[in-house]
């Protein structure tokens, strides 16, 4: 009887198993392990010819066939299957589709983000997939960028809170658990610092700005099994080729122990787009030397890396180092013993269960933000006779689910089952059945200027008690390489709004969009405004419940709304020092500020008390304040804590978010809220790139949004 090799022994230590297997591999097999191929392009041939370690875009029966073939190869190394499960198991028909990250961020609820991650992992676990390319930790900056919807907004602290919670949910307590998947912190780093909002353009950033603004959230994500490397260059060096970023910072400074993966064809782009490598061999050597471990969809990397090793441009020891990281993760997951093949029999127990749907509905409810209300909302449902539902996004399932979903064309064909999605029209019809007549007119399109449907919309609105108009954007203006030059409503939507408003019927506008749009006209003419972003499968029910007062809105903006595209940037935490406070022709004040969100009740803040007004080095900052519900309904208030360092050795934002919490307050009651900020929360990045706490005067700001008028202020001093 032949002894089984050490790497086949599940009782052996992981590192010993890795070393044993690595010692048995040829150079070709090792380079292949570093390759991830697109599973939609003859994957069996790819497996035979290039020995890849991973495929993406492979699900179900296709995963079974490929995995079985991989297990029959010389060494039987299992494949890792990855997919973009960004806000749910996006490309599995009928899986639970949650609000997009931007929508989920409106809840300011890390526990909810954790549950979304856990459910996503469970639903992925029996479809053959081991790895999701999520969450996105990019910082929203220029609102023209097409991928704003994938972010958690504009603040590093909030992004870090939600992303780290989602990572924990996706990965669970043990990566060896069949119901856990590998998370991927992306896009590392500063991918969202674009020129003109255009996707993947070079980020002209100093290392100090990287450390102060773009890296903090990523540093909190080092528990993720993988990091995805951004497309773009920073200060002339593509992230794919940046040893400083991928090795010195990520591994040596932060202690990251997982593996990195490039974004789609990053290594090929070093030759074809960024022109920093003469050929694919040079590009492969450049990427591996920098710290790239797995190469996504650059098939020629296989030949290029082999050539680079043979001609002496790439040390095989660096290949071994990358492969060791990948194999280590496969052993930790237990894939050699259980490659986690799809299990169709268990899918009904794990996909779109009642429990998952309930969490999804909660997420949709908490993700909706009430931005304006003249008093029309909540609707007086007992007196309604006719409700007009109008607009191109009122009954559009793909627009409601948003990007990275079946129907968007990114991966897989088809769509999610229609019965699994409740649109705004569906939600209002269901809620008002037997109470009021609900009439519908699409009115116009988003992608063209055809006004032919506006007359029907006017007839529909005329005589109704209220018109619910649902506008926003759609797939042609969302996603990779789909940045927009404007933030205005596309197509004939503005004409539709003006025509409905002219009927005299009270108008409520629901913004169902991938990002903040320039909607100052709406703010000035609508009786009420809700933003739902892309609220997922249960979004229409949640919108209807809020409109009708069944649910008291609690969401707050994780991102600011500009009044005009030329007014950017409008994110709240800007640096001081400009001449003047406004444009010659327009204010610099955003239309809706970061942290804004209304309720059907009212809250009052008071009695801000610091435990100490003098803080010694290393001491925390402890404080309390009161939140009173001064209205007639129970509600949830998202309290926000900001910090201002009065005098700094380098320029620093005048206001930075340091803490937040959801606080439930019953009508007529007052809750006392306590926080303690670690001393490190007072730090800034100095001119040498170091995080330091400088002695001097600080201000603590507590309240309902980032607006100065919404904040209580208490001063304290940090001693030398």
Q: Which residues are catalytic?
A: 263
536 close to 360: Cβ distance less than 8 angstroms: yes
Kind of pairing, strands 696-703 and 711-718?
A: antiparallel
- Closest by CA to 346, choosing from 67, 127, 82, 58, is 127
C-alpha distance from residue 625 to each of 611, 613, 615 (Å): 11, 15, 19
How far is Cα 161 from Cα 282, in angstroms, rounded to an integer? 39
Q: Name the E strands within 380-490.
A: 386-390, 437-441, 466-472
Q: Residue 671: is it exposed, middle or buried by C-beta count within 10 angstroms (0-12/13-18/19+)?
A: middle
How far is Cα 574 from Cα 651, in angstroms, rounded to an integer? 10
How far is Cα 162 from Cα 182, in angstroms, rounded to an integer? 17
85 close to 124: Cβ distance less than 8 angstroms: yes
Q: Residue 263: is it exposed, middle or buried by C-beta count within 10 angstroms (0-12/13-18/19+)?
A: buried
Dihedrals phi, psi of 203, to nearest 5 degrees:
-95, 115
Beta-carbon contacts of residue 494 (< 8 Å; ≥ 6 apart): 488, 521
**Alpha-carbon dihedral sign for residues 314, 320, 325, 331:** positive
Cis peptide before 189 (omega within 30 of 0): yes
């Amino acid at each position: 009887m032949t002894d089984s090799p050490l790497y086949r022994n599940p009782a052996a230590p992981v590192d010993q198993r890795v070393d044993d297997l690595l010692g048995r591999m040829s150079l070709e097999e090792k380079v292949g392990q570093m390759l991830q191929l697109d599973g939609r392009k003859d994957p069996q041939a790819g497996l035979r010819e290039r020995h890849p370690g991973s495929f993406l875009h492979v699900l179900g029966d296709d995963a079974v066939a490929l995995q079985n073939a991989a297990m029959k190869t010389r060494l039987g190394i299992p494949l890792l299957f990855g997919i973009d499960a960004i806000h749910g198991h996006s490309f599995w028909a009928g899986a639970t589709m949650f609000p997009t990250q931007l929508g989920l961020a409106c809840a300011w609820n890390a526990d909810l983000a954790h549950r979304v991650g856990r459910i996503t992992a469970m639903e992925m676990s029996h479809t053959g997939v081991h790895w999701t390319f999520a969450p996105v930790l990019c910082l929203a900056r220029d609102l023209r960028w097409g991928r704003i919807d994938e972010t958690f907004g504009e603040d590093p602290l909030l992004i870090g809170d939600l992303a780290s919670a989602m990572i924990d949910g996706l990965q669970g307590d043990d990566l060896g658990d069949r119901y856990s998947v590998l998370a991927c912190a992306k896009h590392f780093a500063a991918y969202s610092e674009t020129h003109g909002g255009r996707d993947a353009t070079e980020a002209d950033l100093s290392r100090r700005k990287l450390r102060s603004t773009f890296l903090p959230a990523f540093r909190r994500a080092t528990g993720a099994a993988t990091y995805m490397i951004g497309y773009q260059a920073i200060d002339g060096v593509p992230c794919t080729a940046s040893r400083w970023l991928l090795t010195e910072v990520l591994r040596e400074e932060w202690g990251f122990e997982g593996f990195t993966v490039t974004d789609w064809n990053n290594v090929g782009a070093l030759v074809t787009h960024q022109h920093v490598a003469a050929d694919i061999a040079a590009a492969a050597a450049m990427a591996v030397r920098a710290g790239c471990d797995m190469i996504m969809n650059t098939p020629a990397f296989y030949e290029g890396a082999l050539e680079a090793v043979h001609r002496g441009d790439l040390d095989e020891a660096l290949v071994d180092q990358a492969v060791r990281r990948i194999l280590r993760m496969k052993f930790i997951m237990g894939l050699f013993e259980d490659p986690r093949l799809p299990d169709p029999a268990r899918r009904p127990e794990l996909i779109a269960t009642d429990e998952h749907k309930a969490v999804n509905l909660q997420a949709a409810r908490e993700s909706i933000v009430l931005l304006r209300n003249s008093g029309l909302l909540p609707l007086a449902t007992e007196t309604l006779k006719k409700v007009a539902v109008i607009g191109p996004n009122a009954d559009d399932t793909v627009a409601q689910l948003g990007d990275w979903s079946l129907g968007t064309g990114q991966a897989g064909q088809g769509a999610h089952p229609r019965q699994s999605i409740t649109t705004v029209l569906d939600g209002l019809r269901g809620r008002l059945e037997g109470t009021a007549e609900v009439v519908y007119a699409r009115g116009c399109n988003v992608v063209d200027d055809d006004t032919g449907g506006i007359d029907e919309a006017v007839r529909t609105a005329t005589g109704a008690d209220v018109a619910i108009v649902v506008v926003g954007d759609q797939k042609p203006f969302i996603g990779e390489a789909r940045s927009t030059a404007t933030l205005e409503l596309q197509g004939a939507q503005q004409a539709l709004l003006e025509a409905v408003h002219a009927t005299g019927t009270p108008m409520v506008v629901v913004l169902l969009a991938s990002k903040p749009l320039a909607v100052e006209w709406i703010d000035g003419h609508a009786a009420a405004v809700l933003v739902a972003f892309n609220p997922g499968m249960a979004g229409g029910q949640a919108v209807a419940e809020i409109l009708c007062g069944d649910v008291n809105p609690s969401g707050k903006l994780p991102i600011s709304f500009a009044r005009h595209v030329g007014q950017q940037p409008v994110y709240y935490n800007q640096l001081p020092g400009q001449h003047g406070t406004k444009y010659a022709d327009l204010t610099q004040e955003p239309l809706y500020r970061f942290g804004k969100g209304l309720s059907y009740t009212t809250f009052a803040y008071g009695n801000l008390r610091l435990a100490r007004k003098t803080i010694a080095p290393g001491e925390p900052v402890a404080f309390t304040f009161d939140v009173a519900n001064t209205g007639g309904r129970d509600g949830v208030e998202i309290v926000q804590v900001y910090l201002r360092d009065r005098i700094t050795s380098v320029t620093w934002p005048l206001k930075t978010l340091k803490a937040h919490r959801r606080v439930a307050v019953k009508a007529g009651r007052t809750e006392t809220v306590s926080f303690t900020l670690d001393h490190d929360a007072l730090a800034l990045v100095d001119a040498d790139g170091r995080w330091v706490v400088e002695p001097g005067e600080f201000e603590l700001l507590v309240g309902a949004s980032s607006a100065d008028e919404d904040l209580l202020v208490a001063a304290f001093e940090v001693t030398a």
